[in-house]
Amino acid sequence: MQVREIGVNRSAPGSVGGTIGAYYTHNGFLGLASGTQKARRAILEQFRKDHGDKPLRLMDRGHLTKILSAKKPFAARNWLMTLRGLMQFAVEMGIRADDPTAGIDPVRAKQGDIHTWTEAEIAQFETYHPIGSRPRLAMALLLYTAQRRSDVIKMGPQHVRDGVLTLRQQKTGTPLVIPVHPELAQIIAASPCGNLAFLVTGEDAPVPGVPISNSGIGNAFRRWCDEAGLPASCSSHGLRKAACRRLAEAGCSAPQIAAISGHKSLREVQHYIAEADQARLARAAFAHLGPPSGSGSPLPHRRTSRQRDSV
């Protein structure tokens, strides 16, 4: 009787599991930002768990489409980008002849899947969390830099010189030079900060006063929103979108917004311009009507059916 080592199929050459293991040591994976590596590793390990013993060369477009269709838009997009990297590695190594993800378009998330904070919601948060508090500092850093929370938690006094904030985005590696908004400068000056990071853990943390983690700020921000009575749709990422919306409403172009937010594609910020233009055009259109005469409405009065019948 032949005794087989447990899990051998999961690491056999040419299998899904074996290819994933080899991919982790390849420059295509090692060259990714640490945060991206962590996120993609989690996806690949789930993919290995579900399909690890299968020959990768037999995975076709139909299999992958079925896997992606079962996921929400943002998750499906992340899975597609992750599996595309794996398949391109497999082609390069001769494990398979083609990339089955090549015919699959990135899943477009429906607009609004990540809620953009309104001015009323921003004001509600600011009313509950005054200047000088950790929640208000976190909001200001997110709102006045238009950065992801993974970048905000790394910002510290050493990154600011002569009123300018310098950083390199963790996800994309994009270097950015952003003027510090006067409101942000005021809030930083009034808030307790760490020596190497503006945002540090609170007194209730196991180790207070140390730079807060990405998951830590995510959990804390959810709690701060709940305390302020805000809906579950309000998230830290939604403040990045609100910052872009504000810039668009101020008349900034897509390249100007991207120069602050660090977006690689101008298409990603173009919809903020479109929304802002629509709002400005709508206000301008009503301005042409002029002020209402007397106490009446600028819109024509609509007669009731009884009034029409009496004519």
Q: What was the pLDDT predicted at 11?
A: 59
Residue 60 near residue 100 (C-beta atoms within 8 A): yes
Confidence of residue 163 (pLDDT cuts 50, 70, 90): very high
pLDDT at 48 over 50: yes
Encoded amino acid at 309, one letter: D
Residue 110's pLDDT band, with cuts at 50, 70 and 90, is very low
The DSSP secondary structure of 290-304, one letter per residue, reads -SPSTTS-SSPPPPP
| Mean pLDDT, rounded, of the chain | 84
Is the pLDDT at 287 greater than 90? The verdict is no
Q: What is the pLDDT of residue 70?
A: 84
Averaging pLDDT over each range in 135-149, 169-183, 259-273, which range is the top one?
135-149
The arithmetic mean of pLDDT across residues 281-306, rounded, is 61
Q: Is 168 helix (H, G, I), strand (E, B) or coil?
A: strand
Judged against a pLDDT cut of 70, whether residue 132 lies above it is answered with: yes
Q: For residue 307, what pLDDT is reported?
A: 46
Which one is predicted more confidently, 174 or 295? 174
Give the ranges where the chain is alpha helix by DSSP (H).
Answer: 16-23, 27-30, 34-51, 61-69, 73-92, 119-128, 134-145, 149-152, 182-189, 214-227, 236-249, 254-261, 267-287, 305-309
